Amino acid sequence: MNDIPPPKLKSAQGKQREKKPVASLAKARESARLSVKKQQDKLSKLKSKLQNATRVAQTKKESLKQIDKALDGKETTVIDKQILESVPDNVRDLVNKQDVIFEPNEGPQMQFLASSEREVFYGGARGGGKSYAMLVDPLRYCTKAAHRALLIRKTMPELRDMITHSQRLYSKAYPGAKWREQEKEWRFPSGARIEFGYADNMTDALRYQGQSYTWIGIDELPQYPTPDIFNFLRSSLRSVDPTIPVYLRATGNPGNIGSQWVKEMFVNPNTPNEPFYINIETPMGVKQISRRFIPAKLEDNPYLMQTDDYYAMLSSLPEIQKKQFLQGDWDAFENSSFPEFSKATHTTDAFDIPKSWSKFRSCDWGYSSPACCLWFAVDWDNNLWVYRELYTTRVTADRFARMVMELEHGEYIKYGILDSSTWARRGDVGPSIAETMIVEGCKWRPADRSPKSRVNGKMELHKRFKIDGVTESPQLKIFNNCKNLIRTLPLLPVDKHNPEDVDTYSEDHAYDALRYGVMSRPLNPNSNNGFLNSEKDPKFKPADSIFGY
């Protein structure tokens, strides 16, 4: 046992000396790894730059090929702005020196021709270059054999004018293109076709049943009283060539018989020039159709603006036609109850209502027909601001009352005006509509229902819409979020039997709510139909002290 040597003990200092080579090796490995990663990142960036440069070079090569074909003149080639911008300046200058058959005007006409949405409506003032843009648009894919376009007008005489313009343009754009008079059709060297047709009614439209088109254009769409023909023709849009998208294009002016449905389909859904989408239920799920409205004005056409003759002529028209044909105003209608109403003047963006302004609400009730409640604010100069809207159908009175109170939660609403007919009992058992709402905590008082109340209310609105000579502003403004009031107000027709009133068969629910509200604060303090500064109508005495009605 004594022969066994004692174990060797290592000091802490010795341990550190042994670990030092291991730590140095790990550090070297990490440094090498970072160096390799850095080189790999550098190589990846170089490869990405090479790929981008290759793509740019290939694009320029293809662009130069197309430009070379166009300059050679042996075949027609479509050269767009993107192609021109991808080639050197000297080549671009050479192309620009060639005879230009058509160059779109900057602004709406160019936007129309560049639109990628499936359905586009280009409409507004007369003289904006809409019809000529419609002639040019289907030429885009005439280099492809599967392209087939259909350009529609309502009547044959209108169609002849379009054909005359096409004969000046198409044969120059595509040498070798032939017009076939019997078929009313252009045929192009590639095999593409552009057909000219008319459809005055659904019987005419049935001639195109079973046909397939990659492009359909309808010039002066608002001439059709209903969307039936428009929807029928849409069913013929289809393409067998994946490189050819399908498009539907339409143009038109306000003031025609179908202006209302065109306005609701294209103008109202979104801000002009902004695309929007329509959801379509299909067996394969929900699909979307993209749409866009492009407004047109006379000022967009530099050729007609070289002199002021045409502008002066349109300016001399009666006020409604002037708004329609010169300003392209889709809210201007003949026989309108409020021709002075203008979105530009009488609507405004929403803002925070100052706490010192008084607030109240008014409502026109309906269940099967729409119910509308409007909220008003009164500024220091007695101007009215309609700042909120509730527009419903098939909502019961108790639920409607709760919706009203939820929307105005935290606000102090001085009073509410409700259609007086809601207090009436029609043989039913139980509380009236007004009582039902009041029990829920939504307080109202009856609107004036005297024999002249409707006429007086309309006159009060005319006063409010009038531009004040001092402030240069109306005494009633509507927030843009009150969409149904803004939508229906300019469309209200005059009553045929009483020109001092609106047609009660029109969509007048928001108007009635507005009328009740303004008559609770008339501009004439001595009016018997309302009050100006008092919170309560001095003539109104509730029959029931508990419910307040």
Average pLDDT, the chain: 85
Q: What's the pLDDT at 380?
A: 94
- Tell me what the mean pLDDT of segment 474-488 comes to: 94
Q: Determine contact, residues 492/506, Cβ cutoff 8 Å.
A: yes
Place of tokens 């160019």: 110
Residue 320 burial by CB count (10 A; 0-12/13-18/19+): exposed, middle or buried?
middle
Asked if residue 442 has pLDDT above 60, the reply is: yes
Give the model confidence (pLDDT) of 409-436 as tens digits.
Answer: 999 999 999 999 999 876 667 889 999 9
Q: What's the pLDDT at 149?
A: 97
Residue 311 burial by CB count (10 A; 0-12/13-18/19+): exposed, middle or buried?
middle
The structural domains of the chain, ordered by start, are 108-325 (3.40.50.300), 343-519 (3.30.420.280)
Place of tokens 């809409």: 130
Q: What's the pLDDT at 503?
A: 87
Give the model confidence (pLDDT) of 362-416 as tens digits.
Answer: 999 999 899 999 999 999 999 999 999 999 999 999 999 999 999 999 999 999 9
Q: Determine contact, residues 414/356, Cβ cutoff 8 Å.
A: no
* 330 or 61: which leads in pLDDT: 330
Q: Determine contact, residues 320/328, Cβ cutoff 8 Å.
A: no
Highest mean pLDDT among 1-5, 344-348, 505-509: 344-348
Quick one: pLDDT band at residue 310, thresholds 50, 70, 90? confident
Q: What's the pLDDT at 78?
A: 60
Is pTM beyond 0.75? Reply is no
Asked if residue 459 has pLDDT above 90, the reply is: yes
Quick one: pLDDT band at residue 86, thresholds 50, 70, 90? low
